[in-house]
Structure 1
């Protein structure tokens, strides 16, 4: 279902059906390529760290949750985002975890300079299989307006 700017209401909460299973191979691959810190790359080093075992990069966690967002909520009416106001990594994510997300609409307003676009401010929270919040961010999304000029 296409969600235009007009379809979002402040206070709405969306929980897409998708789940993301975190694999050790993916944690290692992401870390090697983008965040090569020892606790993301090496099991022994990770055991000696505050994480206690191999942990996904926070940026990897954000990427996995972004995938859930795109697959479960965003569609052709999405025009990207102007940025992120807040980003918090609340808990580590480990291989074997299963992630899900919830998205709450915090605010919305029509664009002053582009009448075909509306701005939707949302809070995304990513949870693990134990319903523990692992990440959260507030995003400044842009969506097409249904009539393009109102």
Structure 2
């Protein structure tokens, strides 16, 4: 298990692989973001994207899955206080393969609860061409091994 004390500012990690299908793009969008360029291939061709693309929320969700299956499965994660600077940088299309990269930007012990540390982590989701498709800064809370360390 990786605790707050194990993380260092500047640490980076690359991980995950997620293959995106047109069917799941439509299924997610029909339920949560039913804009024409997410649910209808013909309408998508007439859109600014020129083809079916994933909802940004779907992209963030797929990348969250990479995080949960990757580094969060090995961390004493206590959740997050939110995200800053969420950006959808490139559309995700059927057939894309997503992977992820993280970098620890900052860390500090919580003043209100010394059992947890706050760790700010830049997240980047990338496609198979190594292009950043989504990014954010996670305001993570990580359990401390000991409040006295």
TM-score after normalising by structure 2: 0.96
Query: Which blocks of at least 5 consecutive residues in structure 1 are unaligned?
Result: none
Map of 2:57 onto structure 1: 59
- What do you get for the CA RMSD once the two structures are aligned? 0.9
Match of 1:38 among 36, 39, 44: 36
Taking a change above 3 Å as real, the CA distance of residues 40 and 115 of structure 1, as seen in their structure-2 partners, is same
The Cα offsets for residues 15-66 of structure 1, whole Å up to 9 and x where unpaired, read as 12x2000011110110000000000000000000011110000000000000
Map of 1:139 onto structure 2: 138
Map of 1:29 onto structure 2: 27
The Cα shift of 1:149 comes to: 4.3
The Cα shift of 1:148 comes to: 3.9
Equivalences, count: 148
Runs of 4+ in 1 over 3 A off after TM superposition: none
Map of 1:124 onto structure 2: 123
Q: For residues 58 and 85 of structure 1, what CA distance do their matches in structure 2 show?
A: 15
TM-score after normalising by structure 1: 0.96
